[in-house]
Structure 1
């Protein structure tokens, strides 16, 4: 099985000094040429973002459609390198205390914002406390709970002053964690931990909403943004490592249809493309195809507050009527691994065993058992027939195909009729967060490289839960795992938590993600991190 990531404990201490995740008319770039160079000889990479970013506010743009661009417009204290492990970025070095709880970061003297301002430790303190501020209502706030005082502030039980992030001076940031966290340097490479220019944000709270007001500190600057249509990024000459950046521009289309995307790729309007599922057999062996690992899971959420999914047996019945192998073989057809648990392959324990292989298959198709569970569940609830069920998904051709397949499996295997409904991403997401869906399509891409990131999504108070499911024992297992310094024991707690999740089945998985991309021969060194975002700092185009 794939093992793309070992958990970062000792390796990350290299820098220790002390004791130490549309418009179909889009895509017509005025700058693009047959060789990726416009009339002025600029190198322009042509990409598709799929749809409008949710937000370029680091505290709000907590999804793939925001991350891919945002990760190249901004930069954290650390950045994931070509090997997907954290390396110095805006921070040139750091110290870690002997107890593993206190981190001191030293920001580069030449770190600048795209408007020429110095990047300061104060910008990080401002951004991280803003991330945790309950008034911000950031979906990524839970990532900051590793910081002492972070969870209490976010829950309204503490103040910003209690959050242990302190700008010691303009170039020195001190952070105290609530417990030793060996993967902390990985966590803070996530876009949620990007800095915010405090003076710019104070003057204009909507600084992130338009190209002419956006201020970043990454390899590229946002030059144009035609909402729901296209974006143009240009090389940021203020970036501390701008000499490494080879591209002059990156043009992003917003086309939410794989067939159209592929046609644009074929006509030279895009340099990369996903593969339409009905062309997979024809294209997967192409020399232009790149298949890379990705840490994430496609799954469905039951709303346990809505009938009939308050009943555990009914949830299990529907889950066990889905054949994941058939979906990846005949529907998605991109060589994904079928998912029989939630944590994906690629996470190696201290003993060298893959998490997924150790914890095994926690749900598998079994039609006969599913029929029995459905009957028992209906009897428990006094149902002569099931209440009407609606399956919701966000609009895309691929999501539609999977939803239709699951609809057919429910009907053929259990005799259960399901209605399908779809909505555009932002509308769908808001309804899912508000628990307005009964059964809904979901995806999870890891925010950092540790299994706990998958599992913490289903704690009672997690903004990522979106099922209504709550289990005190599960919550305690996750809390204990986050505070456990012994790695072997920490993994045992995580194994137990995932098993408990599937004993009660508030979700059912479909497949683990991979990254299957067509890419022109003229393009090189685009780095696609397994945690789900794109790296263009080293990209080139001939």
Structure 2
């Protein structure tokens, strides 16, 4: 697929912790790195990459850590049947090859004989059966479970309408894994690169249900192994000698700091304590001008969610009024200032339909700034609800300097364009996420990074009751279109369904899109080989440092 345009993949790393907690040691290896007279110690001779994770990972349990602050590192600690390669396409990984049935529904994967866990155990087909059923188990409570609904019996099990035995995944033998899909899926091999589909060492997990919570107990099968984890401070990964492709892993260690302030991160980059950094908005013009900043594509959206179950946003016209009062172009020009593309739809640019046309261009602009119409819609909505005065509105965001600046810009736009005073509130990211899922906010910031390379991944999020919906919005016609598209093998018909669905989403406006993501970053010139996927995660497998 063509590279996908659109904020700061690295910007999503920086989510929580106060900047003051970025102590002097946050980006450094413990102890000194050199001996007397400049003589290098063995540690100094190691190739150590210094990265920033922004905050404490939510979880290194694959089906639970469903966010960027968990994925970026987890993707380098573990590996699925397939992996996104350097060209951003799925390629053989733990599985060396696979067969597909004539009807396109049954995949048989052949796991490498030398695929090992970091503790020396063989990676088996049974480990994948265990992990994939656990992903779908309602007791696991995985926010990523919906990704596996294309497995026969998967959705029914996750919804409590079926059993684990009905999920059509099986170990033909120790090294042969078979899965049956509900219909042919053109993007299946891409979906299963997602960390949610990583295997889990069944023996280890049965002995210790919290195997993923500490470095001492963590067992992975990826290029690196977790060797140190000081919670809310830093963690360290070291090359996994048990990895089947260890000879192509060049780094000895990756040290991850947890610094949530972009300016602090940039200062650490300047002093050599980090090898990569976000670009602070106030320095972006200068850094782009001197060609210090790099930009690559990223599929996803920065947006806001209305809670349609909470006043005043139960009213469609009031939602539309707030959405039309937002000037996306001004936000990317004067607030974020990192070359983002303003979003007037939800599906990112870069996805081609069967005719070769870009989805975003074909679907067009479904929202535009229109202050006069916004005022009219607000008045109409207030009349419909019998409001003499609009109920108090609070906009909530998770703690981060960039989120705060965008929230303040929206606050000003609502004041100037609608004469509405909006209060701002912020909270720690993990608490924020739980509160948003529980529909406790009126209006709240959000973000979406594509889990796999297809427009349906964007649109499936807003189905009724979907774990990623978080708006309370429901539309029966929309649900039918998405369910039909998920099962449709005819690509032309499938894309028409998705075009219709996105239009319904914006006709009723449960969200306000702000901009599409890109990845803007600074990188040590001595570092090469880091792969930043447009859809997916950062890859350090091929990274090297002089």
Match among 264, 267, 275 for residue 263 of structure 1: 267
1:24 paired residue number: 22
Displacement of 1:289: 2.0
1:18 paired residue number: none
Displacement of 1:286: 3.5
Q: What secondary structure does 1:501 align onto?
A: helix
Match among 501, 505, 512 for residue 497 of structure 1: 501
- Counterparts of 1:325 and 1:410, CA distance in 2: 15
- Distance 1:328-1:532 versus aligned 2 partners, 3 A rule: farther
- Answering whether residue 301 of structure 2 is matched by residue 301 of structure 1, we say no
Match among 398, 414, 420 for residue 418 of structure 2: 414
1:447-526 counterparts in 2 under 5 A? 447-526=451-530
Match among 81, 85, 99 for residue 85 of structure 2: 81
- Distance 1:189-1:31 versus aligned 2 partners, 3 A rule: farther
Displacement of 1:33: 5.8
- Answering whether residue 8 of structure 2 is matched by residue 4 of structure 1, we say no
Which stretch shows the higher mean deviation, 334-343 or 26-35?
26-35
Displacement of 1:349: 1.1
Q: What secondary structure does 1:201 align onto?
A: helix
Displacement of 1:461: 2.4
Displacement of 1:31: 7.0
Task: For CA contacts below 8 A with separation 6 or more, give which structure has more relative contact order.
Answer: 2
2:363 paired residue number: 359
Displacement of 1:372: 0.3
- Distance 1:31-1:71 versus aligned 2 partners, 3 A rule: farther
Q: Deviations over 1:273-327 (max 9, x none)?
A: 0011111111123343220000000000000000000000000000000000000
- Distance 1:84-1:31 versus aligned 2 partners, 3 A rule: farther
Displacement of 1:91: 0.2
Displacement of 1:40: 4.3
- Counterparts of 1:29 and 1:505, CA distance in 2: 48
1:425 paired residue number: 429
1:343 paired residue number: 347
- Counterparts of 1:169 and 1:150, CA distance in 2: 22
Match among 104, 107, 110 for residue 103 of structure 1: 107
Which stretch shows the higher mean deviation, 345-354 or 157-166?
345-354
2:393 paired residue number: 389
Displacement of 1:483: 1.0
1:205 paired residue number: 209
Conserved? CA contact 1:3–1:354, under 8 Å: no
- Distance 1:30-1:515 versus aligned 2 partners, 3 A rule: same
- Distance 1:33-1:250 versus aligned 2 partners, 3 A rule: same
- Answering whether residue 278 of structure 2 is matched by residue 280 of structure 1, we say no
1:333 paired residue number: 337
2:543 paired residue number: 539
Match among 121, 127, 138 for residue 117 of structure 1: 121
Q: What TM-score do you get using the length of structure 2 for normalisation?
A: 0.95
Conserved? CA contact 1:75–1:218, under 8 Å: yes
Q: What secondary structure does 1:369 align onto?
A: helix
Conserved? CA contact 2:90–2:193, under 8 Å: yes
Conserved? CA contact 1:51–1:254, under 8 Å: yes
- Distance 1:33-1:526 versus aligned 2 partners, 3 A rule: farther
- Distance 1:387-1:37 versus aligned 2 partners, 3 A rule: farther
1:15 paired residue number: none
- Distance 1:177-1:477 versus aligned 2 partners, 3 A rule: same
Q: What secondary structure does 1:315 align onto?
A: helix
Q: What TM-score do you get using the length of structure 1 for normalisation?
A: 0.95
- Counterparts of 1:102 and 1:59, CA distance in 2: 23
Conserved? CA contact 2:328–2:514, under 8 Å: yes
- Counterparts of 1:66 and 1:520, CA distance in 2: 23
1:94 paired residue number: 98
Q: Deviations over 1:168-213 (max 9, x none)?
A: 1110011000011011000000000000000000000000000000
1:14 paired residue number: none
- Please, what is the CA RMSD of the aligned residues? 1.5
- Counterparts of 1:120 and 1:486, CA distance in 2: 35
2:11 paired residue number: none
Q: What secondary structure does 2:185 align onto?
A: coil
- Answering whether residue 187 of structure 2 is matched by residue 183 of structure 1, we say yes
Conserved? CA contact 1:72–1:537, under 8 Å: yes
Conserved? CA contact 1:111–1:118, under 8 Å: yes
Match among 55, 60, 63 for residue 59 of structure 2: 55
Q: What secondary structure does 2:255 align onto?
A: strand
- Distance 1:532-1:93 versus aligned 2 partners, 3 A rule: closer
Match among 316, 319, 325 for residue 323 of structure 2: 319
Q: Deviations over 1:305-355 (max 9, x none)?
A: 000000000000000000000000000000000000000011111111110
